[in-house]
Structure 1
């Protein structure tokens, strides 16, 4: 990874804020979405990013940044900023490109501010963005000040903007929280958001419910934005002068290895776990992307290759089983020796069957021998290097299922933080399948090999 330097070219100054917390479930996503909606509704061009490999939060954040009631015509995808998957210079490039056209940059952290290697704090320092700490104040009073003080002083290189109290029970509760922020601590207090189900975001086993599935999502974000508007966060944060990396990591410089290749990309409620930059990478290499829905379509588009991303196929068993035309189209594509690349949920769809946690079993496409079974507990998590046939790609895994198969893997992922074997990578003719979610810009040439006819 490449380090920043004083000779890196500068961008215009843009207001920016990094929203973090002491840990998960403190309300980072709600606060970030509320800030995005509040300022976008006032006509500002808001760009939002998510730290780490998460798929679900970025869907919601992109929706929130779309102005009043999530106007999709004014929003852009919320890109992931991951120092291990992408590297320092690529993260700098993504944000500095956005800063050239945005009025406000918001970055949501992952887990707690100092959790992980690299951490949210590492990213905030690299980008030079001040950190707002969101603290769920449930069950605490003046100790709020001690927690805020620890976050503010733990690393002197982190620019600490201040603290916001979340899940506050009453105005009196808010007073007790402020008492803990004694004046000598010199920690800015931005206000409080009350504890209410009116803007709570529903969750399921992999995280938040997908934005498209929450029927009243815009109303929830609007109510959260109203609450944010009653705090000091209604004012724009301080402007940040972003630096471009010395090395230009924009995708426009990639070789056009996929020129003229039509890639069919599954995208619907069952298959939606996609890094937007992966699609950018394929396009930059000349691919023409054609989207289709295994849930709703009965035929494949005219394509040379298929990309089946992860998602929630286990929540749509009956619909997937009851679409034999799509399964026949996938079989025909496979018989014509055309490439299929399947990640996690996409791989489960290619198995003979998939069983959910309630024991309901449904027939899937049957292109891979074996059966997938959902589990109640997490079965795989973490960064891995994926030795794909065309080269190594950086990747991440996060799944609640297991597969029972006689397939012999062609390789296994190499874990970042321990020496045990990683996720298995399978190949059946032109099918490449794994639980790993690969980050294509980490090795575009290897990614292209997955789709070359």
Structure 2
């Protein structure tokens, strides 16, 4: 058995400040000399990049549907063994979604800290906190933190509206972290990020939540790793990784490594050549922000075309798929020629085009994943299949095949089926 201080940081809704508070606490506890592991509920890529910067360790996703209960339990147990503090940032509102962050908290006994935007309320804060704490009788509720507080007198009114045991402090208004159409800006794009986190940690240190020894401690059984056959032993997979291709789950890399593959990273944005490899993974990211620079790559178009001509697999997802299309029309109407490996054209949109978890099967078992994009694709290719949304609200995403190239807007969670993942990259 291993134990660690644990908090699941939730809120009544998106936009309440969960990411900011989680990052500030991770920075604070790390500054106090503690080893901090952060998880993110749901399929998000961007919050984990910021939270990884704050905690100094890679951030994995926890989700009962995407990740599965067994792997969630295993990752929590490993974190309790290796870290002093585990922070888990929830997704959306505490009870939103199926399964929700509350379901995760109940399943594993994770104490919940509710972050409430109190900027436009006083004693009603207590009613909202009471509702979050008691909506589910089995929820392990720990406390509440008030955000966007006007000052000491405002904080006093808020504190008086909740049980003393639940009050974990307050912070005033802080400058929001920069965002764009898919979420937060990348950490490297925020030059004063360390200073922002220091200032936030200073404020949190003066609150009850800043006293790490007071955090609830949870004991987890020893992790039991599932066996993964080395179906990709001896195979080298080239993976695009830079600011244009940054949507990479750490667990996906762990899965490929467990399958026996050798991973070779390269930066198309820096015009690095495609490495000698047996398969290619082009993950999602922001090709639309770097379209001209990607299009100017002197060798990637021919190298990928030759790779397909040699019948070697390519998996291109979302942003990776956009890069290999014939053209990309940006929001200002500019059309940029792209790499032209897939006979398709992409157009950026001002509104979200698709969002939601889906599973898909390209012939070797179902993989779970999700879709989240602000563009649409036009092609004469007939899809080889479609994703299956796990709930209402998202349209089934098409999956395309051109020779040994497969592409979709779907982001795959490789650990959901290592066998299907191995097949995606060429295992027989």
Tell me if TM exceeds 0.5. yes
Please, which moves more after superposition, 32-41 or 213-222?
A: 213-222
Q: Distance in 2 between matches of 1:12 and 1:418?
A: 39
Kindly state the Cα deviation for residue 420 of structure 1 after the two structures are TM-superposed.
7.9
Alignment of 1:77-96 (within 5 A): 77-96=58-77
Counterpart in 1 of 2:100? 119
Asked if 1:235 is matched to 2:216, the reply is no
When structure 1 is superposed on structure 2, of 43-52 and 164-173 the one drifting more is 164-173
Q: CA-to-partner distance for each residue in 1:13-58, whole Å, 9 max, x for gaps?
A: 2111110000101111111111111111121111110011000011
Deviations 1:415-434 (A, max 9, x none): 11249851000000000100
Output the CA distance in 1 between the equivalents of 2:121 and 2:302. 58
Q: CA deviation at 1:297?
A: 2.7
The correspondence for 2:391, drawn from 417, 425, 430, is 417
**1:155 and 2:131 matched:** no
Q: In the alignment, which of 376, 379, 387 is matched to residue 402 of structure 1?
A: 376
**Greater CA deviation, 146-155 or 171-180?**
171-180
Shift, 1:335, TM fit = 2.2
> Structure 1, unaligned stretches of length 5 or more?
1-10, 67-75
Q: Does 1:355 align with 2:333?
A: no
2:367 corresponding residue in structure 1: 393
Task: Tell me how far apart the structure 1 counterparts of residues 357 and 61 of structure 2 sit (CA, whole Å).
Answer: 14
Secondary structure in structure 1 of the residue aligned to 2:359: strand
User: May I ask how many residue pairs the two structures share in their alignment?
Assistant: 425
In structure 1, the residue matched to 2:90 is: 109
Alignment of 1:7-406 (within 5 A): 11-66=1-56, 76-181=57-162, 185=163, 188-197=166-175, 200-236=176-212, 237-244=215-222, 248=224, 250=225, 253-406=227-380
Q: Deviations over 1:247-290 (max 9, x none)?
A: x3x25x21111000000011000101111111100100100000
Q: Normalising by the residue count of structure 1, what TM-score does the alignment of the two structures yield?
A: 0.91
Conserved? CA contact 2:42–2:91, under 8 Å? yes
Deviations 1:121-170 (A, max 9, x none): 11111121110000011211111111111001111111111100001122
**Tell me, what secondary structure is at the counterpart of 2:234?**
coil
Q: Residue 406 of structure 2: SS of its match in structure 1? A: strand
Structure 1 consecutive aligned stretches of length 4 or more whose deviation exceeds 4 Å: none
* CA distance in 2 between partners of 1:300 and 1:196 (Å): 43
Q: Give yes or no for contact 1:16–1:239 (8 Å, CA) kept in 2.
A: yes
Task: Tell me the SS of whatever aligns to 1:273.
Answer: coil
The question of whether the paired residues in 1 share the 8 Å contact of 2:347 and 2:377 is answered with: yes
Q: Deviations over 1:317-365 (max 9, x none)?
A: 1111221322222222222221110000100111001122222221111
CA distance in 1, matches of 2:119, 2:210: 24
Q: What CA distance in whole angstroms lies between the structure 1 residues aligned with 2:274 and 2:12?
A: 46
Mind listing any 5+ residue stretches in structure 2 that lack a counterpart?
none
Taking the aligned partners of 1:18 and 1:48, their CA distance within structure 2 comes to: 10
CA distance in 2 between partners of 1:244 and 1:57 (Å)? 28
For the 8 Å contact 1:331–1:365, the answer to whether it is kept is no
Report how far residue 109 of structure 1 moved: 0.5
State whether residues 46 and 106 of structure 1, in contact with CA within 8 Å, keep that contact through their aligned partners in structure 2.
yes
Q: Residues 235-254 of structure 1, C-alpha deviation per residue, up to 9 Å, x if partnerless?
A: 12121112357xx3x25x21
